[in-house]
Amino acid sequence: MEDVLNVSGKASSTTPTPTPTPSAAVDKDDCPYTIELVQPEDAEAVIAMLKTFFFKDEPLNTFLDLGECKELEKYSLKPLTDNCSYKAVNKSGDIIGIFLNGLMRRPSPDEVPEKAADSCDHPKFKKILSLMDYVEEKFNIFDYYPNEELILDGKILSVDTNYRGLGIAGRLTERAYEYMRENGINVYHVLCSSHYSARVMEKLGFHEVFSMQFSEYQPNGKVVFKPAHPHVGMRIMAKELDLDDKQATKTKL
């Protein structure tokens, strides 16, 4: 399973923040892990896992040879304050999977969108943020869903390679669905920079609402990103959740 990177989705303060639900254990007693809410004190462990299983393999990071990037680490932890990110924890207490989520709120009509790249000093990561800003300019998820005021934004999904095949990605996503039902959120949004991550999201029931080839992004008349095949572009995936449907998806990855 490949990972998902999304560093877009700015929030305004017009919509109240939903209340998180306490940790939820996996149903089966013999399951080697539980699903729990990511806590602020997990930040160091989350970054350690991302360094091992995500940052070095993400296609844009790899193409740019991003290396150590404190700005990326800080940006990755920003959604924790929304209290809707989840972790898979093994019986030894180690984090073996994470789905970092944030909340996207409909901006007010007179609100000027903040560009994430403007405040970034790291030259390589700034290129990635500029691409995300460009995608956000091209496609507004709230135009696609005109009746929604609050959308769950899936930012990073990553699973320890030693524990893949145990359904961790599916269970992390199921827990996010529960959060959506509990807080009346209808739409789950994920921006994929990887061909494989988009396929994973399709297996989890997401569908494409926007796509753009990397070759289309030419801010100075030249293509900026040329990741290795099969990573050819950005895809925004979405899932509309039936809030009356209490049957969680049981996709196993």
| Domain boundaries of the chain, sorted by first residue | 33-107+147-240
> Tokens 């844009």 correspond to what residue?
60
Q: How many CB atoms lie within 10 A of CB 91?
A: 9
The per-residue pLDDT for 237 is 97
Residue 159: is its pLDDT beyond 50?
yes
Q: Over the chain, what is the mean pLDDT? A: 87
Residue 66: is its pLDDT beyond 70?
yes
The per-residue pLDDT for 111 is 87
What's the fold here for domain 33-107+147-240?
Aminopeptidase (3.40.630)
Bridge partners for 105 per DSSP: 150
Based on the number of CB atoms within 10 Å of its own CB, is 148 exposed (0-12), middle (13-18) or buried (19 or more)?
A: middle
Mind listing the pLDDT tens digit for each residue in 200-227?
A: 999 999 999 999 999 999 999 999 999 9
Mind listing the pLDDT tens digit for each residue in 41-64?
A: 999 999 999 999 999 889 999 999
Q: Binning pLDDT at 50, 70 and 90, where does residue 23 land?
A: very low
Residue 123: is its pLDDT beyond 60?
yes
